[in-house]
Amino acid sequence: MAGDWIKVEIATPDKPEIVKLASLLGIDQDSAFGKCVRFWMWADQQTRNGNDLSVTTIFIDRLVALPGFAENLKKVGWLAGEDLTLRIPNFDRHNGKSGKTRALTRNRVQSHRNADVTHEPLAEKRREDIREESSVLAAQEEPLALELNPPGAHKGAVQATDASKPNGQAKDEEPVEPPGFTEFWLRWPTNSRKVNRAGCLRAWVSRKLESEANSILAGLRRAKESIDWTKEQGRFIPLPATWMNQRRWEAPKPGKGKPGWLPTFEEAQAMFGLGKEAQA
């Protein structure tokens, strides 16, 4: 006996031998496959390697409840020998004690290899995104100081405060959102790349961009009308942090007829003579 299981390949039900056996016996392939499994289960329990089966073909037919099964199994090459010395060719390749030992060893080796596999990294971000995310994070990093015995604390207590803020203001307190930034964030196109509002806010405040809010908003309006931002459903719209930290609102407006140029409302009216008709 070699255990309470047998190894069967998932391709076995469709092998040519099963197809031929089903035809010889006048049954369907699934039934032929089932009869073979029943026979192999018995052989695995009663022999060590499928050799020297001390039984007759009539016994095998009774075992699987199908007359002629053993003789036709010989015809497809899956049974050999004569009564009382029958054998199953290559049985120990997959079953029997030696075949199962090899199968279990392969499974252990494969499991060990899978455990050592390094998973594929996520798709690499665009380099400009990585640079700008690092820039935003750097803007968030500010030195901490330890304030001993702050007002209202017990004697000897230590509190982490932001050394760059007056009166020991706690570091994790969000800065007050200026109206210019609020407008900037509302006007930014909504898509999957509109992220990290808190980081952008800190960068806005640390770089004192509120004084340039009008220029930034005007540049944003031009960018939203550009070809790069409108084609392919906004696929090429950058991260807000990328656009802000690279001061892209300062990019000159494309000249008339140049790539990326779009007319303003007034220019469009002049081009099509709409303003003159309205005046008339």
Q: Across-strand partners of 87?
A: 80
pLDDT tops 50 at residue 133: yes
pLDDT tops 90 at residue 47: no
pLDDT tops 80 at residue 103: no
Burial zone of 210 (CB within 10 Å; 0-12 exposed, 13-18 middle, 19+ buried): middle
From residue 5, how far is each of 39, 100, 271 by CA, in Å?
13, 9, 83
pLDDT tops 80 at residue 42: yes
Output the six-digit token pair for 153: 């604390």
Q: What is the pLDDT of residues 209-259, one digit of tens each?
A: 999 999 999 999 998 988 888 888 888 899 999 998 899 999 876 655 555
Query: What is the model's pLDDT at position 72?
Result: 96
Cα separation, 217 vs 55, in Å, equals 92
Q: Got the DSSP string for 95-149?
A: SHHHHHHHHHHHHHHHHHHHHHPPPPPPPPPPHHHHHHHHHHHHHH---EEEEES
Q: Do β-strands 158-162 and 144-148 pair in parallel, antiparallel, or remain unpaired?
A: antiparallel
Nearest to 269 by CA among 260, 280, 258, 278: 278
Q: What is the pLDDT of residues 189-223, one digit of tens each?
A: 998 889 999 999 999 999 999 999 999 999 999 98
pLDDT tops 80 at residue 78: yes
Query: What is the model's pLDDT at position 145?
Result: 42
136: Cβ contacts below 8 Å, ≥ 6 apart: 196, 199, 200, 202, 203, 241, 245
Q: What is the pLDDT of residues 84-100, one digit of tens each?
A: 889 998 887 766 565 55
Query: What is the model's pLDDT at position 115?
Result: 65
Cα separation, 132 vs 248, in Å, equals 13
Rounded to an integer, the average pLDDT of 166-182 is 71
Query: What is the model's pLDDT at position 127?
Result: 60
Query: What is the model's pLDDT at position 164?
Result: 47
